A and B are shown apart, each in its own frame.
Chain A
Amino acid sequence: MTHNTPDLSLNRVPEMGSAPIGSAAEIRLAELWETAPGWRGWLSTVDHKTIGLRYLVTAFIFLLMGGVEALIMRLQLAGPEQNLLTPEQYNQLFTMHGITMIFLYSLPILSGFSNYLWPLMLGSRDMAFPRLNALSYWIFLFAGLFLYVSFPLGEAPNAGWFNYVPFAGLEYNTGPNIDVYALGMVLLGISTTVGSINFVVTLFRMRAPGMSISRVPILVWGTLTASVANIFAIPSVSLAFFLLWLDRRIGTHFFDVVNGGKPLLWQHLFWMFGHPWVYAVVLPAMGIVSDALPTFCRRPLVGYSAVALSTMATMLLGFGVWIHHMFATGLPTLALSFFGAASMVISIPSAVAVFAWIATIWLGRPVFNTPFLFFAGFVILFVIGGLSGVMTAAVPLDFQLNETYFIVAHLHYVLLGINVFPVIGGIYYWFPKFFGRMMNETLGKWSFWVMFIGFNLGFFPMHVAGLLGMPRRIYTYAPHMGWNMVNMITSVGSFVFALGILLFLVNVLVSLKRGALTTPNPWDAPTLEWATPSPPPAYNFAVIPIIASRHPLWEDRLDEGGGRSSLEQGYLLMEGRETLGTTSLDADPDIILKMPDDSLAPFFLGLFSALVFAGLLLHWQNFTILMVLACSLSLAAWMWPRKTLLQRVPDACEEGAAHG
């Protein structure tokens, strides 16, 4: 891709300078980093911004699919003894709703934000492993399609997203449905794992010089914590699903009671993953609020260090509470006491975050733009979800609440309140950065209020349904159970909520075409991503900036005494695709990182991996072996040595450090 012969000498001092838009250096950078037009470029791009947007769009489409599934279920449950759906259809719908929302929407959408924003927030030109990033997306897409492959055949997974054995075993589920789920989850696990590794390495290697660990935005803390957790949690669920597949198709007996298997093993493996996952899908979203709320309060977040630490503390504790999904399995009282108490303690770090947000608003001067409404609304939903969570942590209460609609209410307050509201608020906030246009404020406020009212109308009465004893996952109920009214309210609310989402979508489409053109920093936000043009160029930063504080764009007014960040003057790094590697804690300049070119290899590796799993699903042995070979070839093409990637160590980067 480079036009000049690259400099292959090992010792090179990165040049300092500036590269204003339109300068020769800037034009050269654009040539180096821009993806070729056409389908080839479309399939081969490794630009984190493109990948981030793909994650956002794909995950949002899955949200809409899961939402339609929910609406159909709400029609069935609007009144007693309705016959809109057969029991089997209902069971497949709630299973796919859970799988879609939990696995295909809630984490991928946050990966979308983080993929797009991390390098911009951290002052880098891309993620640490751009090709791995592309692979992560492609596998996510193919795994999503894979999980839906049996849906049109009327053979979708039907054992719930938690997929308890023995019901998910071959004896009670002979069809391909559970195989689809098991193999699809192992495939998706690959995507999540490589994505998580990429985030962790990016954080510890790719921050702009001077951006010490205490200067990164909270979203970065949230995604880092979630990623580290995923690296530990995903193996548990991948293993569980792999063992299940072995039981079903190879004849092992891990979960098979007759041959000494243990159904409870599944629950442990599943929830050891499942609970950390719950935090993985909310902590980055909480980070979105912690970073964006201060912009609309015209002051920095109160208690940055406390919030960052509470993020980590939540996740550490999150690994020790999985048993609270299993209080009713007959475990000894002592064990229940321990896990019950731990489940209460975990709300302490959440309290830190809540009071930090409220204090930020109180001490600030709120500006009531649409994103602020979503973030302020989020705080109250977070509190409700947290308080109902405290109720379920009380073991005796959970003996009653468990598996009733109270839990459905709780988890939707948590997942919609703490994930969807910040996500939509985040899209309103970063839309100008993504597309260079503002979203419509009037439509935005309408969408917030319709969503917020619909959400509470739909989900709050579910608490009551749960207290009235309505079990989860029933396709119908008798008219004399006392659940008619609450269900009718819930169904009405769910459609109001859906209308709110529709308004948001209309706003996105209208604003993409007609939104007011914007400046680099329309909200006057403090963080580094707003230092780039909107939308950012392919190379992100014309020069790698040197950072002096947590709020580089507010330094002129905050006057924290730590000096000024240097955004116009920085490391030029334009001998090929390059960015700067820094040390893990202090972010001192360490190395020039040569970044890879666009490549079709990630797409093909993703495609062939998915086909390996398709082969396993269909029991086509030869095909499977062929696809494994194809994977190896893709990997070889990916790894093929290129001279341009040789590392060059700067031996005088102390000069650069002096600037920071």
Chain B
Amino acid sequence: MNDYGPGFRRCTPINYAVFLCALTAASAALADNEAAPLNYFLHSYGPAATPTMHLGWVFVALLLAILIIVASLLAGAVFHKRPVEDFRKIGREEEGMPWIYIGTGISTCILVVLAIYSLVTLNVIAKPTHVPGLTLTVTGYDWWWKVEYENDDPARHFVTANEVHIPVGVPVLVKLKSADVIHAFWVPVLAGKTQMIPGLINQQWLEADTEGVYAGECTQYCGVQHAHMGLEVVAQNTAEFEKWRDAQRRTAPPTSAAGANAGQKIFLDQCAGCHTVRGTEAVGAHAPDLTHLNSRRMIAAGLLTNTPDHLMQWITHAQELKPGARMPSMVLTPAEASSLSAFLSTLN
């Protein structure tokens, strides 16, 4: 009955809080910044994310302090010295209410302050400080992203995939749609996430302070390849952005070399049902627009870097690399593969 566990004193709640903090610090240190592209807790690169990051620091600091205080109280409660008394003696019921009054009172004050701070932050990030300079639409598909740069002039309207380019220092309004199930658009170092819900058009804004490539992920479970639905936001200075945009508006050049011609024929036969290459007869709408395929850094929604080797691997072994993806593994003879590769290499 009165068996005081000898092991208990070795690990007090204070040691325990220290252990947790050490665990946190160790895990965070082991994942250095370069190696954690989605680390929004330590990095933010735009005004839609920075206030939230600061909010996060304040919350974590304050809540860790509260944890340590409460853990110390608990440790004190368990271990403080007491006169030895008969086991059967029972303490009085009425004592102790000040604990609840003071503890709950202080907690309530802290909560009110935190609630106000978080509401103020919400208000700050809800809208950009000035009118968005660019509007684009991102549509979630199983398991990739269609990116549309809208323009009243159809000739200036274009579509790309999995890579969003934005000019630095300009608030960008992103309209969010879904073509199938619910996805969520999330580029953590630039802004929080927003769901893409079929039948609704959601929107969020983001803005990059500095040039760079910022990783994003789908964060709403959307099926078998939810794990491989990445995107990238490329923030460029205005001149480079304009240059990129003008290039994207162009249609694909006519092919001239014999190999490329043969490759184009294979593409039109086997790929055009789903993919579009503007300037050709390929107008499929179920898969990424490939008009400027080679301008992108990644393929298969962030799965592979965009090299000719990876590209052919992807075409012939898509179902092994991304099981369940809508892209089939194409069966091609070596000759066909090399022609197709030659054609795709023209899509700059």
- A485-B41 CB under 8 A given contacts A299-B91, A328-B192, A359-B99: no
Are A482 and B114 in touch, CB under 8 angstroms?
no
* CB-contact partner of B226 in A329, A395, A473, under 8 A: A473
Assembled-state Cα–Cα distance A533/B165 (Å): 75
Are B195 and A400 in touch, CB under 8 angstroms?
no
* CB-contact partner of B63 in A302, A358, A390, A554, under 8 A: A390
Which residues does chain A contribute within 8 Å of B324, judged by CB atoms? Answer: 87-88
Which residues does chain A contribute within 8 Å of B38, judged by CB atoms? Answer: 468-470, 481
Flag whether A246 is at the interface (Cβ < 8 A).
no
Are A482 and B52 in touch, CB under 8 angstroms?
no
User: Could you give, for residues 485-496 of chain A, a 1 whenever the CB lies within 8 Å of some chain B CB and a 0 otherwise?
Assistant: 110010000000
Which residues from 595 to 625 on chain A have a C-beta closer than 8 Å to any C-beta of chain B? none
Q: How far is the CB of A92 from chain B (nearest CB, A)?
A: 10
Are B89 and A471 in touch, CB under 8 angstroms?
no
Are B184 and A449 in touch, CB under 8 angstroms?
no
Are A380 and B223 in touch, CB under 8 angstroms?
no
- A300-B93 CB under 8 A given contacts A380-B74, A473-B226: yes
* CB-contact partner of B87 in A257, A298, A397, under 8 A: A298
Are A302 and B195 in touch, CB under 8 angstroms?
no
* CB-contact partner of A359 in B96, B114, B115, under 8 A: B96
Flag whether B331 is at the interface (Cβ < 8 A).
no
- CB-based nearest A residue for B142: A172
Are A471 and B218 in touch, CB under 8 angstroms?
yes
Flag whether A384 is at the interface (Cβ < 8 A).
yes
Q: How far is the CB of B283 from chain A (nearest CB, A)?
A: 23
Are A373 and B5 in touch, CB under 8 angstroms?
yes
Flag whether A368 is at the interface (Cβ < 8 A).
yes
- A369-B56 CB under 8 A given contacts A164-B182, A299-B93, A477-B227: no
- A373-B8 CB under 8 A given contacts A383-B71, A397-B56, A464-B24: yes
Q: How far is the CB of B162 from chain A (nearest CB, A)?
A: 15
Which residues does chain A contribute within 8 Å of B107, judged by CB atoms? Answer: 347-348, 351
Which residues from 185 to 226 on chain B have a C-beta closer than 8 Å to any C-beta of chain A? 186, 188, 191-195, 197-200, 202-203, 217-226
Binds A, one of B27-35, B150-158, B269-277, B306-314: B27-35
Are A302 and B95 in touch, CB under 8 angstroms?
yes
Are A486 and B114 in touch, CB under 8 angstroms?
no
Are B221 and A358 in touch, CB under 8 angstroms?
no
Are A483 and B31 in touch, CB under 8 angstroms?
yes
Flag whether A74 is at the interface (Cβ < 8 A).
no
Assembled-state Cα–Cα distance A489/B225 (Å): 25
User: Could you give, for residues 1-43 of chain B, a 1 whenever the CB lies within 8 Å of some chain A CB and a 0 otherwise?
Assistant: 1111101100101001001100110011011100111111100
- CB-based nearest B residue for A376: B78
User: Could you give, for residues 306-347 of chain A, a 1 whenever the CB lies within 8 Å of some chain B CB and a 0 otherwise?
Assistant: 100000000000000000000011100100110011001101
Are A460 and B2 in touch, CB under 8 angstroms?
no
Are A395 and B220 in touch, CB under 8 angstroms?
no
Flag whether A513 is at the interface (Cβ < 8 A).
no
Flag whether A654 is at the interface (Cβ < 8 A).
no
- A469-B71 CB under 8 A given contacts A306-B100, A368-B5: no
User: Could you give, for residues 298-323 of chain B, a 1 whenever the CB lies within 8 Å of some chain A CB and a 0 otherwise?
Assistant: 00000000000000000000000001
Flag whether A354 is at the interface (Cβ < 8 A).
yes
Are A330 and B217 in touch, CB under 8 angstroms?
no
- A469-B217 CB under 8 A given contacts A299-B90, A356-B99: yes
Q: How far is the CB of A462 from chain B (nearest CB, A)?
A: 10
Flag whether B66 is at the interface (Cβ < 8 A).
yes
Q: How far is the CB of B228 from chain A (nearest CB, A)?
A: 8
Q: How far is the CB of A311 from chain B (nearest CB, A)?
A: 14
Are A460 and B23 in touch, CB under 8 angstroms?
yes
Assembled-state Cα–Cα distance A645/B72 (Å): 58
Flag whether B333 is at the interface (Cβ < 8 A).
no
Are A396 and B27 in touch, CB under 8 angstroms?
no
Q: How far is the CB of B86 from chain A (nearest CB, A)?
A: 9
Flag whether B131 is at the interface (Cβ < 8 A).
no
Assembled-state Cα–Cα distance A201/B17 (Å): 44
Flag whether B243 is at the interface (Cβ < 8 A).
no
Are A468 and B41 in touch, CB under 8 angstroms?
yes
User: Could you give, for residues 441-475 of chain A, a 1 whenever the CB lies within 8 Å of some chain B CB and a 0 otherwise?
Assistant: 10001000100000011001101110111111111
Which residues does chain A contribute within 8 Å of B23, judged by CB atoms? Answer: 456-457, 460-461, 489
Which residues from 365 to 406 on chain A have a C-beta closer than 8 Å to any C-beta of chain B? 365-369, 373, 376, 379-380, 383-384, 387-388, 390-391, 393-400, 402-404
Are B219 and A402 in touch, CB under 8 angstroms?
yes
User: Could you give, for residues 65-100 of chain B, a 1 whenever the CB lies within 8 Å of some chain A CB and a 0 otherwise?
Assistant: 011001101101110101001011111110111011
Are B122 and A340 in touch, CB under 8 angstroms?
yes
Are A344 and B100 in touch, CB under 8 angstroms?
no
Central interface residue in B1, B28, B73, B118, by most chain A CB within 10 Å: B118
Are B104 and A403 in touch, CB under 8 angstroms?
no
Assembled-state Cα–Cα distance A637/B135 (Å): 68
Assembled-state Cα–Cα distance A363/B118 (Å): 37
Flag whether B128 is at the interface (Cβ < 8 A).
no
Flag whether B59 is at the interface (Cβ < 8 A).
yes
Which residues does chain B contribute within 8 Å of A472, judged by CB atoms? Answer: 219, 221
Are A558 and B93 in touch, CB under 8 angstroms?
yes
- A383-B70 CB under 8 A given contacts A351-B104, A365-B85: yes
Assembled-state Cα–Cα distance A552/B99 (Å): 26
* CB-contact partner of B125 in A303, A363, A373, A396, under 8 A: A396
Assembled-state Cα–Cα distance A469/B35 (Å): 12
Q: How far is the CB of A326 from chain B (nearest CB, A)?
A: 8
Assembled-state Cα–Cα distance A300/B91 (Å): 7
Are A403 and B78 in touch, CB under 8 angstroms?
no
Flag whether A364 is at the interface (Cβ < 8 A).
yes
Flag whether B259 is at the interface (Cβ < 8 A).
no
Flag whether B121 is at the interface (Cβ < 8 A).
yes
Are B227 and A476 in touch, CB under 8 angstroms?
yes
Assembled-state Cα–Cα distance A301/B92 (Å): 10
Which residues does chain A contribute within 8 Å of B122, judged by CB atoms? Answer: 333, 336-337, 340, 395-396
Q: How far is the CB of A295 from chain B (nearest CB, A)?
A: 10
Flag whether A86 is at the interface (Cβ < 8 A).
yes
Which residues does chain B contribute within 8 Å of A388, judged by CB atoms? Answer: 63
Are B93 and A304 in touch, CB under 8 angstroms?
yes
Which residues does chain A contribute within 8 Å of B256, judged by CB atoms? Answer: none
Flag whether A642 is at the interface (Cβ < 8 A).
no
Q: How far is the CB of B239 from chain A (nearest CB, A)?
A: 30
User: Could you give, for residues 97-139 of chain B, a 1 whenever the CB lies within 8 Å of some chain A CB and a 0 otherwise?
Assistant: 1011011100110010011001101110110000000000000
* CB-contact partner of A166 in B7, B99, B198, under 8 A: B198
Flag whether A160 is at the interface (Cβ < 8 A).
yes
Which residues does chain A contribute within 8 Å of B220, judged by CB atoms? Answer: 164, 328, 403
* CB-contact partner of A299 in B67, B80, B92, B199, under 8 A: B92
Which residues does chain A contribute within 8 Å of B219, judged by CB atoms? Answer: 402-404, 471-472
Are A486 and B52 in touch, CB under 8 angstroms?
no
Flag whether A557 is at the interface (Cβ < 8 A).
yes
* CB-contact partner of B40 in A337, A400, A457, under 8 A: A400
- A166-B217 CB under 8 A given contacts A358-B99, A365-B82: no
Assembled-state Cα–Cα distance A352/B106 (Å): 11
Which residues does chain A contribute within 8 Å of B97, judged by CB atoms? Answer: 302-303, 306
Are B100 and A402 in touch, CB under 8 angstroms?
no
Flag whether B181 is at the interface (Cβ < 8 A).
yes
Which residues does chain A contribute within 8 Å of B225, judged by CB atoms? Answer: 87
6 A-B pairs with least C-beta separation? A399-B192, A469-B38, A299-B91, A482-B36, A355-B103, A302-B96
Can you list 29 pairs linking A and B with CB atoms under 8 Å apart?
A: A86-B323, A87-B227, A160-B221, A328-B184, A328-B220, A330-B200, A330-B202, A344-B111, A347-B111, A356-B100, A359-B99, A359-B100, A362-B77, A362-B99, A383-B70, A387-B67, A390-B114, A391-B56, A399-B52, A399-B125, A460-B24, A471-B218, A481-B38, A483-B36, A485-B27, A485-B30, A489-B27, A524-B88, A550-B93
Q: List 15 additional A-B contacts (Cβ < 8 Å) besides A383-B71, A398-B192, A554-B90.
A: A91-B224, A263-B182, A328-B193, A348-B107, A348-B108, A365-B89, A387-B67, A397-B55, A403-B221, A464-B31, A470-B38, A471-B219, A482-B31, A482-B32, A489-B27
